[in-house]
Amino acid sequence: MPWTIESETGVLRDVLLCPPTHYRWIDTNAIAHATLSNQVSFDAERARAQFAELVEVLETAGVACHYLTPEPHLPYQVYTRDSSQTTPWGPVLTQLRMPARRGEYAAVLDFHLSGDGFWRYATMGTCEGGDIHIIRPGLLLIGCSGVRTDLEGARQLAGWFEAEGWEVRVQPFPQHFLHLDVLFCMATDTLAVASTEILGPEFGAWLAAHGVEVVEASYPEVMAMSCNLLSLGGGRVISPRHSARINAELRRRQVEVFDPPLEMFSLGGGSIHCMTMPLRREPLA
Q: Is residue 5 part of a domain?
A: no
Q: Is residue 3 part of a domain?
A: no
Q: Is residue 4 part of a domain?
A: no
HSE of 115, CA atoms in CB hemisphere, 13 A: 14
From CA 60, how far away is CA 64, in angstroms rounded?
Answer: 10
> How many domains, in total, are found in the chain?
1
Q: Is residue 21 part of a domain?
A: yes
Q: Which one-letter amino acid corresponds to residue 53? A: E
Provide the residue range defining the domain that includes 135: 12-281
The residues, ordered by sequence, that sit 6+ positions from 55 with a Cβ below 8 Å of its Cβ are 17, 65
Q: Is residue 118 part of a domain?
A: yes
Longest pairwise C-alpha distance within the chain: 49
Q: Is residue 54 part of a domain?
A: yes
pTM, full prediction: 0.96
Q: Is residue 197 part of a domain?
A: yes
Q: Please give the chain's pLDDT, 285 residues, in tens.
A: 589 999 999 999 999 999 999 999 999 899 999 999 999 999 999 999 999 999 999 999 999 999 999 999 999 999 999 999 999 999 999 999 999 999 999 999 999 999 999 999 999 999 999 999 999 999 999 999 999 999 999 999 999 999 999 999 999 999 999 999 999 999 999 999 999 999 999 999 999 999 999 999 999 999 999 999 999 999 999 999 999 999 999 999 999 999 999 999 999 999 999 999 999 999 998
Q: Is residue 2 part of a domain?
A: no
CATH number (domain holding residue 225):
3.75.10.10
Task: Name the pairing type of β-strands 184-188 and 191-194.
Answer: antiparallel
The DSSP line for 117-132 is --SEE--SS-B-GGGE
Which contiguous run of DSSP H or E holds residue 237?
strand 236-238
